[in-house]
DNA sequence: GCCAACGTTGGC
DNA sequence: GCCAACGTTGGC
């Protein structure tokens, strides 16, 4: 049973298209204890929504954890970790934050309750609801 | 060990 | 570009 997650990135910095171009991306630079703990809990094969923050404000695609956590040499390797991810597929239709906020099934979604959390768990029912909004 | 100041994130 | 939310830092 894979677990579900959501990770945010500013498309200016690193967007969905950048991940697709790279084929496998290293999710680095996360300097937040809660986000870091979530990354440590990720297992290979877990499914992750890619959310565009600042510009876009929408879930654009799904990626898969391809390598579990290792020290983040771009920040402080004693403190923070990276995971590696591969793009799985793009959603037929990007799901905007505005619509997620309007969906009662998503009222407890971690990124709505705590908007600054950049790596957050998603429950199976939340995952299904977002997938449905994104065209299956 | 408290808490004010400061820095960063991200929605608007 | 602004600023609210919130995490971190550092003076006491």
Domain boundaries, chain A: 4-133
Q: What is the pLDDT of residue A78?
A: 87
Q: How far apart are alpha carbons A115 and A82 in whole angstroms?
A: 21
Q: What average pLDDT values come out for chain A (136 residues) when binned by 10 residues? A: 96 96 96 94 98 97 97 90 97 97 96 94 97 91
- The separation, in Å, between residue A50 CA and nucleotide C9 C1' comes to 32
Instruction: Choose which CATH entry (3.10.590.10, 3.40.50.880, 1.10.230.10, 3.40.50.1100) describes domain A4-133.
Output: 3.10.590.10
Q: What is the pLDDT of residue A76?
A: 87
Q: What is the pLDDT of residue A89?
A: 97
Residue A68 three-state SS: strand
- The separation, in Å, between residue A65 CA and nucleotide B6 C1' comes to 35
Tokens of A131: 């997938």
- The separation, in Å, between residue A54 CA and nucleotide C4 C1' comes to 15
Nucleotide with minimal C1' distance from the CA of A10 is B10
Q: Are strands A58-71 and A47-52 parallel, antiparallel or unpaired?
A: antiparallel
Strand C footprint nucleotides (protein C-beta < 7 Å): 1, 5-8
Q: Which residue is nearest to nucleotide B11 (CA to C1')?
A: A54
Q: Answer yes or no: are the C-beta atoms of A27 and A38 closer than 8 Å.
A: no
Residues in CB range of A85: below 8 A, 6 or more apart: A7, A19, A24, A25, A27, A48, A63, A64, A65, A66
Residue A91: Cβ-neighbour burial (10 angstroms; 0-12, 13-18, 19+)? buried
Residue A44 three-state SS: coil
The answer to whether some atom of strand B lies closer than 7 Å to the beta carbon of A38 is no
């Amino acid at each position: 049973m894979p677990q579900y997650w959501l990770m945010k990135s500013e498309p200016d910095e690193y967007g969905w298209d950048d991940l697709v171009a790279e084929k496998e991306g290293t999710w680095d630079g996360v300097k937040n204890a809660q986000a870091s703990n979530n990354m440590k809990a990720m297992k290979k094969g877990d499914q992750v929504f890619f959310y565009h923050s600042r510009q876009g404000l929408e879930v654009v695609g799904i990626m898969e954890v391809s390598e579990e956590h290792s020290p983040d040499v771009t920040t402080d390797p004693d403190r923070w970790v990276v995971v590696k991810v591969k793009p799985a597929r793009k959603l037929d239709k990007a799901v905007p934050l505005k619509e997620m906020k309007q969906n009662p099934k998503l009222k407890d979604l971690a990124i709505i309750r705590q908007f600054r959390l950049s790596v957050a768990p998603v429950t199976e029912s939340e995952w299904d609801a977002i997938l449905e909004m994104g065209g299956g």
